[in-house]
Structure 1
């Protein structure tokens, strides 16, 4: 063990730990749950520290040698070298102060170590005076939230959704010629093609992606420069713009200082809107997954219109059973996203005066939603949709036996007589053609001319 100090006094820290006294206090006083601060937030904090050090050096506020050491240490964190040094829980102070200081302490100790000094020395680099220069947890942590979420969306979620979109497009084309019965209220309706049905799924997904993309500009606004309450106290007036410019250059995303730092610290509208877009995507994917597992139900005592890929045994007791497991996994993810969105909505409402104090919860939930949705979309695409096959015979039988084909006769014999035909066919267990002939409404030739499913599309 070694002794480290902070403004509250002395704390004992394990020799091999890069963190310091404030992190150790958090481990003691916030031993709540197992959920750790997401590493994307930690890495985003390190990116900000790296940019801040360089900017502070350019502004003449930080010795260039110290800035270089801070930058080098932060780069190691971004690269994932010290991931194990960030053990703090999500359930900590609502501003994320403990995790901000965790990053400050690790950077300081690592920088000092590279300078030949022992861990805990705080010389030549101090975690507050140098690493946190021009910053507060209140502005840096929400900035890190935006950076982490923006990167997760661009690097993970949007590519996964594009992959799913491509699979749906191919299925829409492959199924364009297959006529099937439509269903409304879970009951038989007029026919359509399986490709038309899948085109609806594709359009739902595309609409959800557009809604998601419309929320992204809000993420590019960073609270950095607002410091404690939004006034920018102890921060150079050029600091925020210069940091945002460096992050823009490094990450290729148009980060900028928030137009109003007070709102950026106290509210989280941008993240709330993104969460709502994720909920909308989850809603669409829930519908798509449920439709597919309904159409694949059976295979003999259900609808049996689709054949699922046989990825794994479906039952530990019933041999040969194949279950819609990918659809089930996707729908569970959708439910989790609904729950996360509800928590985010409540948390985003907790902006008391100059600070929202539910930041770690918002960060944890929204990053989980993004990761789960991306993984589930890709898995559903690759392990369900890609090898999904139509059961053409069953599609044809279900369509031909549908009583709602009688709708094509409404312009010929009228609504009332068409209803009588359908009711007669249902009661007698006969075909529509047989019912029409029995009722004497049309000749067989006229029935065949008008009762053509391919003309109803």
Structure 2
């Protein structure tokens, strides 16, 4: 078989490279494919789209400053629009673990746009007869201002889906708080018996925690709106015409429909990834909240015969290959693993953020991949948790009462009447005899029966109870 029919030859300053003949990428992308076969992962499509949108905004600005003629402008714009409509998705193939700063991903975008634009103008792939990936598609740009901008736009594009599932999570927790408000159960601290609480009060804590975390995400999102496009290589805006930054910003706002804000210090925007880290940390925070809530729900639903079994989770799949009838809290287990991963991503973003030197942070490809992955997997995990777990949680009221009647933590309500030391004596009697605290207190003459009935009245056990 003649392989010459399957490949074309392109060259750069390092020499010649063989590229699949029908590929829209070029020599820089091919070298990245050969240099970085690391994870088998491809760039997120939203990240590709965001980068292409910047290319379109740039070519519009360059045309407005008469740096490109109409023919080239139309060809590049058409190529961008085709990609944004879903074509050529198989041409963006650079591994996220790649050359620093994101040059490999960036040139993949530049080369695909250039080759498609040349094809539109009648030139063969790889010829760059009319349009060059660096000279034309990358005009007035650098990897160093395009990639940070693309990461921000990508995040801002997919955050609404995350906030949507989190807001639904908040509504479901609010609903459960109301549904369970009259179910009194034993509280537990240190995993030991504690004073009574309602199941609704327990869920109200989860509800409030999620509200606070949503607020933190919404606040940190605002910092992503400030973009440093127009700084080119080091923040000076070299190789751009005066007024270019304002023009490309206007184009980006129109194309993305995002209220993007022009950076007032392009040098800082190129060096500093703190805004991305700040947002990542808000995802870390809500992840630890979700882990904690998930741990509680697994404890509360443990059993069904030898655990707490105060709530029941919806059955979603068989839980064992050897134990018939076993059903596990699989959705919560999945969500917990996702949250662990998000915390790991955040730690990596922290390390990447502190590893920038002088005018650039070269770890941006890793920051980009992790931040986008964080948002997407958290969105999917919470969506599944909402619909396949939380929505269907039911309270086992009889079991809650069973454990409440046997709790030694309820003894604290006797402190104001018997004193701490005497109440300890009563607790020991109750534990030894197996009788309830109420019955033990009456039988041993600690308090009269009518007083015991009043003190142990359930509706008085979960709110301030002392009277003058």
Does the pair score TM above 0.5?
yes
Residue 152, structure 1, aligned to residue 161, structure 2 = no
Instruction: Quote the residue 1:85 is aligned against.
Output: 91
Q: Deviations over 1:194-252 (max 9, x none)?
A: 11111111111111111111111221111211111111110123222222222222222
Map 1:373-452 onto structure 2 (within 5 A): 373-452=378-457
Instruction: Quote the residue 1:288 is aligned against.
Output: 293
Does structure 2 retain, via aligned residues, the 8 Å contact 1:4–1:13? yes
Q: Counterpart of 1:96 in 2: which secondary structure?
A: helix
Q: Counterpart of 2:101 in 1: which secondary structure?
A: coil
Q: Deviations over 1:130-150 (max 9, x none)?
A: 110100011101111111111
Residue 304, structure 1, aligned to residue 309, structure 2 = yes
Which of 250, 257, 260 aligns to 2:262? It is 257
Does structure 2 retain, via aligned residues, the 8 Å contact 1:350–1:358? yes
Q: Deviations over 1:62-96 (max 9, x none)?
A: 21231222112112222321111011111211110
Instruction: Quote the residue 2:198 is aligned against.
Output: 193
Which of 32, 43, 47 aligns to 2:49? It is 43
Unaligned runs of 5+ in 2: 1-6, 463-468
Does structure 2 retain, via aligned residues, the 8 Å contact 1:37–1:360? no
Instruction: Quote the residue 1:173 is aligned against.
Output: 178
Q: How far does residue 7 in structure 1 lie from its aligned partner after superposition? A: 4.0
Q: How far does residue 367 in structure 1 lie from its aligned partner after superposition? A: 1.2
Which of 121, 129, 132 aligns to 2:127? It is 121
Residue 366, structure 1, aligned to residue 371, structure 2 = yes
Residue 12, structure 1, aligned to residue 18, structure 2 = yes
Which of 317, 329, 343 aligns to 2:334? It is 329
Q: Counterpart of 1:180 in 2: which secondary structure?
A: strand
Rounded to whole Å, the distance in 2 between the matches of 1:282 and 1:347 is 20
Instruction: Quote the residue 2:3 is aligned against.
Output: none
TM-score of the superposition, structure 1-length normalised? 0.97
Q: How far does residue 395 in structure 1 lie from its aligned partner after superposition? A: 0.8
Q: How far does residue 274 in structure 1 lie from its aligned partner after superposition? A: 0.8
Rounded to whole Å, the distance in 1 between the matches of 2:436 and 2:323 is 37
Does structure 1 retain, via aligned residues, the 8 Å contact 2:186–2:407? yes
Q: Counterpart of 2:100 in 1: which secondary structure?
A: coil
Q: Deviations over 1:302-337 (max 9, x none)?
A: 001111111111111111111010110011111111
Does structure 2 retain, via aligned residues, the 8 Å contact 1:139–1:265? yes
Q: Which structure 1 residue ranges, 4+ long, deviate > 4 Å from structure 2? A: none
Does structure 1 retain, via aligned residues, the 8 Å contact 2:60–2:251? no
Q: How far does residue 48 in structure 1 lie from its aligned partner after superposition? A: 0.2
Instruction: Quote the residue 1:96 is aligned against.
Output: 102
Rounded to whole Å, the distance in 2 between the matches of 1:447 and 1:3 is 92
Q: Counterpart of 1:352 in 2: which secondary structure?
A: coil
Residue 26, structure 1, aligned to residue 32, structure 2 = yes
Q: Deviations over 1:386-415 (max 9, x none)?
A: 111111110111112112222222222222
Residue 74, structure 1, aligned to residue 80, structure 2 = yes
Does structure 2 retain, via aligned residues, the 8 Å contact 1:54–1:68? no
Rounded to whole Å, the distance in 1 between the matches of 2:52 and 2:357 is 27
Instruction: Quote the residue 2:466 is aligned against.
Output: none
Q: Deviations over 1:48-72 (max 9, x none)?
A: 0011111111122221231222112
Q: Counterpart of 2:307 in 1: which secondary structure?
A: coil
Rounded to whole Å, the distance in 1 between the matches of 2:426 and 2:255 is 70
Residue 220, structure 1, aligned to residue 225, structure 2 = yes
Does structure 1 retain, via aligned residues, the 8 Å contact 2:173–2:207? yes
Does structure 2 retain, via aligned residues, the 8 Å contact 1:192–1:456? yes
Does structure 1 retain, via aligned residues, the 8 Å contact 2:53–2:255? no
Does structure 2 retain, via aligned residues, the 8 Å contact 1:225–1:235? yes
Does structure 1 retain, via aligned residues, the 8 Å contact 2:57–2:255? no
Does structure 2 retain, via aligned residues, the 8 Å contact 1:139–1:226? yes
Instruction: Quote the residue 1:52 is aligned against.
Output: 58
Instruction: Quote the residue 2:240 is aligned against.
Output: 235
Rounded to whole Å, the distance in 1 between the matches of 2:242 and 2:208 is 47
Q: How far does residue 106 in structure 1 lie from its aligned partner after superposition? A: 0.3
Q: Deviations over 1:79-123 (max 9, x none)?
A: 321111011111211110111111001001111111222111213
